[in-house]
Structure 1
Amino acid sequence: MDQMSFGDGEYASKRKRTRRETFLAEMEQVIPWTILLNLIEPFYPKAGNGRPPYPLKVMLKVHLMQNWFGLSDPAMEESLYEIASMRQFAGLSLTKPIPDETTILNFRRLLETYELGADILARVNGYLSRKGLMLKRGTIVDAAIIAAPSSTKNADGERDPEMHQTKKGEQWYFGMKAHIGVDVDSGLVHTVTTTPANEADVNEADYLLHGKESVVHADAGYTGADKRTARKGLDWQIARKRGSVKALPGGDKKREIEKEEKRKAGIRARVEHPFRVLKCQFGYVKVRFKGLAKNTGQILTLFALSNLWMARKRLLAMTGELRLKAA
């Protein structure tokens, strides 16, 4: 048995459970570890003549915490030294070496090199579908701008050339767009694409459909998507533009249209939940890398994690039922 360090021993004797500990304990139970480890294992370095690599599960857990808490590689290394709950989640101890920032960077680059972000989202969604949590009868599409640094005070003296600026209302934004297709029943993300911020939402609509839905819900930014798509027989529930509704003469017809628009807006509201998790729960309000490819890989992973977070109560309830049956 490994000897416990003084810091770990002090942590083990404390009484109150923090919100971070609760979060990590819940995610420990709901993440399909075997599925994700089997995905990454063929690409992970094998032990050879040099220093043996850290166990794959340790590095995957470190990588996920880095995404959840918005930490850079150096900050992630320091957190493993300073925060006992994060060490415990990763299965690390101060009595043994802690992954340094280069090791953490190399693992992230491995996932980027083999473009495993899309596979992580697909494997997680397959797991949720088998649990009966993603029905795929309808899709809600939407997009959000993710800001990027607009300053030119850097080594290159220029902004990221793969990011662009766009105007929304009276405000200018510089960055990229995350486009998502969400399961209308569960609110879970099934498809993600990314573009520069100046790409029109309607241009991505076709790429956000999984092919099995019968109805698509979208805001007014997707006006005309029903005429562009190659898919036939879809029921496109696209919001009317506010100006066209306001311009209608008063009366029963206008009230009926306003009531119908309110109903459609209530359904579309579910698409905001994944964005809220990324921005509020995971603190993802600005891109963390340069270029679309690296940021796309992270966004795909973040949406896979947001699906698990949003479904955690149902997954934990299933786990509890299984434990009761086993007992």
Structure 2
Amino acid sequence: MTFAEEPGLSRKRKETKRERFLREMDRVVPWKRLVDVIAPCYPQKGTLGGRKPMPLEWMLRIHFLQQWFGYSDPGMEEALYEIPVLRQFVGIDLGRDLIPDESTILRFRRLLEQNGLAERIFAEVQAVLRESGLILQEGKMVDATLIHASGSTKKRERKRDPEMRSTKKGNQWHFGMKAHVATDLQGIVDAVEFTSANIPDHQVLEDLLAGDEPVVLADRGYDYPQVHAVLAERGIQDAVARRRYPGQKTGLEALKRFNRSVARLRARGEHAFRVLKCQFGYRKTRYRGLAKNGAQMTTLFALVNLYLLRKELWRLQA
């Protein structure tokens, strides 16, 4: 019997990807400011002589672990028992502290949803990035991505999520919702909206704009007369990629050059979706309804921004 499994007592070994990721994110997440945002809504004492609430920063760290690694509430509780690296990140010592059970983790998530704290977390992260001078003001890129939802009817209600819809992309049908985002020209998410999958991208454009953007870039899904009219009315430079309409025979080379130039700049707007779906593994909704899934994705996009700018934040800290 040895203490080799405990962090700090084992012999020197290789740092794993998970350890490196958690070390990097621990440095860039503004823990104190986020705790201050949540604290007014968090219970300070147990009700009716009950047990004392878990430390708020613990619960916030556990909530972020769920977003990064896709743990369910029961799965998160078991992972904290099984994986020393996760306990170390949260700050839990098994010999001294109690691990929050799945009901406590669930109640904390509902606390964030019911008080609109996901939006406030996103806003606080944006404030940190603006104060650090890491948000570009030269223009915006708008885009949307499909998030799949379960189409199974093997549930208590015997039907699919009523707030999700189907849409056709190419020759394939998708069931779920859409995340509409506006990013700056380096791909950092500045505004987020959520709709059912059947809502066209261009109908959400005005909700994503602040009105003072010098230029807006978008793909051909936004090439509609009403979009061009809105941009012209606000005095915003129109850099929306154009479609080739049936029967069009003139100006094709100029159209290709324009779309290619827009695509080269707009490619950075896809980076947030790459981190969301590939790095954090979020490809399918976990809950029912737009509100719950929207709150989760709002938190995820705040963490995406911190991940994309982690190296710049390190340099500023140094």
Q: What TM-score bracket applies, with the shorter chain setting the length?
A: over 0.9
In 1: Cα distance, 2:123 partner to 2:233 partner: 22
Give the 3 Å change call, closer, same or farther, for CA 93–214 of structure 1 in structure 2. same
Where does residue 286 of structure 1 map in the other structure? 284
- TM (norm. structure 1) is 0.91
In 1: Cα distance, 2:10 partner to 2:54 partner: 24
Identical positions, percent: 48
In 2: Cα distance, 1:113 partner to 1:177 partner: 22
Map 1:258-273 onto structure 2 (within 5 A): 258-273=256-271
Give the 3 Å change call, closer, same or farther, for CA 11–203 of structure 1 in structure 2. farther
Where does residue 190 of structure 1 map in the other structure? 190
8 Å CA contact 2:139–2:216 kept in 1: the answer is yes
8 Å CA contact 2:231–2:238 kept in 1: the answer is no
Give the 3 Å change call, closer, same or farther, for CA 304–97 of structure 1 in structure 2. same
Where does residue 325 of structure 1 map in the other structure? none
Measured after TM superposition, the shift of residue 194 of structure 1 is 0.2
Where does residue 135 of structure 1 map in the other structure? 136
Where does residue 202 of structure 1 map in the other structure? 202
8 Å CA contact 1:192–1:300 kept in 2: the answer is yes
Where does residue 308 of structure 1 map in the other structure? 306
Give the 3 Å change call, closer, same or farther, for CA 235–229 of structure 1 in structure 2. closer
Where does residue 149 of structure 2 map in the other structure? 148
Where does residue 35 of structure 2 map in the other structure? 37
In 1: Cα distance, 2:289 partner to 2:59 partner: 24
In 2: Cα distance, 1:12 partner to 1:316 partner: 28
Measured after TM superposition, the shift of residue 247 of structure 1 is 4.3
- TM (norm. structure 2) is 0.93
Map 1:12-23 onto structure 2 (within 5 A): 12-23=10-21
Give the 3 Å change call, closer, same or farther, for CA 10–317 of structure 1 in structure 2. closer
In 2: Cα distance, 1:301 partner to 1:100 partner: 22
Where does residue 52 of structure 1 map in the other structure? 52
In angstroms, what is the RMSD of aligned CA positions? 1.9
Matched, 1:99 2:100: yes
Where does residue 238 of structure 1 map in the other structure? 240
Counterpart secondary structure, 1:8: coil
Q: 1:18-74: per-residue Cα shift (whole Å, max 9, x none)? A: 000000001010011111011000001112432111111111000000000011000
Counterpart secondary structure, 1:198: coil
Give the 3 Å change call, closer, same or farther, for CA 231–247 of structure 1 in structure 2. closer
Give the 3 Å change call, closer, same or farther, for CA 127–286 of structure 1 in structure 2. same
Where does residue 277 of structure 1 map in the other structure? 275
Q: 1:261-309: per-residue Cα shift (whole Å, max 9, x none)? A: 1110011111110011000000000001000000000000000000000
Measured after TM superposition, the shift of residue 138 of structure 1 is 0.5
In 1: Cα distance, 2:314 partner to 2:211 partner: 30
Counterpart secondary structure, 1:210: coil
Measured after TM superposition, the shift of residue 80 of structure 1 is 0.5
Measured after TM superposition, the shift of residue 244 of structure 1 is 3.7
Measured after TM superposition, the shift of residue 211 of structure 1 is 2.8
Which letter does structure 2 place at the counterpart of 1:237? A
Q: 1:132-188: per-residue Cα shift (whole Å, max 9, x none)? A: 11022211000011000011111110000000001111100000000000011x210
Give the 3 Å change call, closer, same or farther, for CA 284–231 of structure 1 in structure 2. farther
Q: 1:180-238: per-residue Cα shift (whole Å, max 9, x none)? A: 00011x21000000000000101000011123311000111111212246951011211
